[in-house]
Amino acid sequence: MSSISRFLTSRWGPIITGIVVGILAPVLVKLGNPGNMGVCVVCFSRDIAGALGLHRAGVVQYIRPEIIGFVLGALIAAFLFREFKPRTGSAPLVRFLLGMFATFGALVFLGCPWRAYLRLAGGDGNAIFGILGLTAGIGLGIVFLRSGYSLGRSRPAPRAVGWVMPALMVLLLVLLIAAPQFGRDAGGNPTGPIFFSTTGPGSQHAPLFISLVAGLFIGFLAQRSRFCTVGAVRDAILLRDFRLLSGVIALLVAAFVTNMILGQFQPGFEKQPIAHANSLWNFGGMVLAGLAFTLAGGCPGRQLFLAGEGDADSGLFIMGMFVGAGFAHIYNMASSAAGPGVFGPAIVIAGLIICVLFGLTMRDAKA
Amino acid sequence: MSEIRTVDARGLSCPQPAMLTRKALQQSDKGTVEVLVDSGTACENVSRLAGKAGWAVMVEEQPDRGCRIVLKK
């Protein structure tokens, strides 16, 4: 077991994780997940927010087992390798807001960094602008990191604190399986409190058990290998460390090859699945997302894996993502296939201003 | 010259432990630098960075499950 761990913490770890994600994501699409959305942490958080009734966009409501699997897979790995360390106290409120703003930006592009790479590997040329924006946002975050940005230190917390997010994921799994429908709509039909789409992307999903196992496997690997799609670019630029970047490149190549084999590679810019062709806001949305993820210390997948290790600050970042996804759909900030939502560009600009203020003002009290 | 410089990176998010270590190593061409971290990720990142810069790396696990990384050149 320890030799597996050593291998995954070596420079090969992110590459193996990237290959596994790159293969599993297109397979999950083949088995029912939405196009180029085998795994998308932001889209799936948005679907969970919808299932819980935090927004009522009827086409994007489903409790995604992959997200549950990510946290619980990381929890299992953390326990096996004695890395379950409950901690909190590093500017939780700011992390919650960063989770919200990252989600606003990503829902303008229509995908988290994971999906940006998966979209490109499926032939969606619009992803190029998203990835350029993501890189620009990370670059901006690096400027702040170099000038002393810090959210301060976390501290060890009672063990129960570390169990809150895993317990919440178990509760989501129970709600997914039980699917309670206590409410009644105007016509007397059962509805809510848990909502599941009957049309649209929310209705498209691979079988529950397969999604859950895929999530658990990825969560396990990623906890050990420290896989992070934002840290990949950040470490390459800031530290000349290409360990994580090699994992992202492996993901891109593996997903491209798997899509080719499965006949899912459709090159072009128009009519791509769950995407729009507005290059400016594909770019702009991901500048905001890239900056917010960098200021929070990692991509949304990484935040889920850290939450599985007991990091309650990452847990709160994820809560910010759920709430942000709710707001994004209630207030017409999320994009659709037609293009950016009415208030999408405005929230990107407002979010950038607020994140830049965080970048300029947050300093470790005793650095 | 036997002075040990200490970098306390416990509780800090990525990439700050590696950044603080790099700064300390750049300030001292040789000698001993001690880095305190509390996560496996930070321990690996600091060890990798120092190793690439030509420093001898020794990792001691701490009772509180953190790590003390001793870097020598």
Task: Give the pLDDT confidence of A72-92 residue by residue, as tens digits.
Answer: 999 999 999 999 999 999 999
- pLDDT tens per residue across span A330-356: 999 999 999 999 999 999 999 999 999
> Can you tell me which residue has the tokens 């058990």?
A209
Report the largest interatomic distance among the alpha carbons of chain A, rounded to a whole angstrom.
61
State the catalytic residues of B: 14
DSSP A191: E
User: What distance in Å separates the CA atoms of residue A276 and residue A270, rounded to the nearest whole number?
Assistant: 8
Q: What is the pLDDT of residues A105-141, one digit of tens each?
A: 999 999 999 999 999 999 999 999 999 999 999 999 9
Question: Residue A78's closest chain B neighbor by CA?
Answer: B40
Beta carbons of A295 and A355 less than 8 angstroms apart: yes
pLDDT band at B2 (very low <50, low <70, confident <90, very high): low
Q: A235 to chain B: which residues are within 8 Å by CB?
A: 15, 18
- How does pLDDT run across A212-226, given as a tens digit for each residue? 999 999 999 999 999
> Residue A366's pLDDT band (boundaries 50, 70, 90)?
low
Of residues B12, B15, B65, nearest to A238 (C-beta):
B15
Q: Do A235 and B15 touch (CB under 8 A)?
A: yes
Task: Please tell me which of the candidates A154, A226, A231 has its beta carbon nearest to residue B11.
Answer: A154
Q: State whether residue A81 sits within 8 Å of chain B by CB.
A: yes
DSSP characters over A114-168: HHHHHHHHTTBTHHHHHHHHHHHHHHHHHHHHHTTB-----EE--HHHHHHHHHH
Q: Which amino acid, residue A104?
A: F
Question: Taking CB atoms and an 8 Å cutoff, what residues of chain A touch B11?
Answer: 87, 89-90, 152-155
Q: What are phi and psi of A170, to 5 degrees?
A: -65, -40
Per CB-CB distance under 8 Å, the chain B contacts of A156 are: 38, 64
Q: Dihedrals φ, ψ of B68, to 5°?
A: -115, 120
Cβ pair B40:A234 closer than 8 A: no
> A366 at the B interface (CB within 8 A)?
no
Write the residue in B10, B18, B41 that is nearest to A239 by C-beta: B18
Span A270-284, average pLDDT: 97
Q: Give the tokens for residue A155.
A: 């501290």
Provide the shortest C-alpha distance from residue B1 to chain A (in Å). Answer: 25
Q: What span, in angstroms and rounded, lies between the C-alpha atoms of A3 and A6?
A: 5
A90 inside 8 A of chain B by CB: yes
Residues A236-241 have a mean pLDDT of 96
Query: Cβ–Cβ of B38/A85 closer than 8 Å?
Result: yes
Which token pair is A168?
């919440």
A269-294: average pLDDT: 98
Residues of B with CB under 8 A from a CB of A: 10-16, 18-19, 22, 38-41, 44-45, 48-49, 64-65
Is B64 a residue whose pLDDT tops 80? Answer: no
CA distance to partner chain A, nearest, from residue B12 (Å): 5
The reported pLDDT for the residue numbered B30 is 87
Q: Does A243 touch chain B (CB under 8 A)?
A: yes
Token readout for A37 is 């959305």
Q: CB B41 to CB A226 under 8 A?
A: yes
Q: Is the CB of A134 inside 8 Å of chain B's CB atoms?
A: no
Phi, psi values for residue A156, rounded to 5°: -60, 140
- Rounded CA-CA distance A225/A74 in Å is 11
Least CB–CB distance from A9: residue in B38, B39, B44: B44
For chain B, the farthest-separated pair of C-alpha atoms sits apart, in whole angstroms, at 32
Suggest the residue from B8, B13, B61 to mutate for an interface test with chain A (most A CBs closer than 10 A). B13
pLDDT tens digit sequence for A293-332:
999 999 999 999 999 999 999 999 999 999 999 999 999 9
- The pTM of the whole model exceeds 0.90: yes
> Which residues from B are below 8 Å from A238, CB to CB?
15, 19
Contact B48 A154 (CB under 8 A): no
For residue A297, the distance in angstroms to the closest alpha carbon of chain B comes to 5
Best B41, B48, B52, B59 member to test A by mutation, with max A CBs in 10 Å, is B41
Q: Is B19 in contact with A145 (Cβ distance < 8 A)?
A: yes
Task: Give me the residue from A81, A152, A298 closest to B14, CB to CB.
Answer: A298
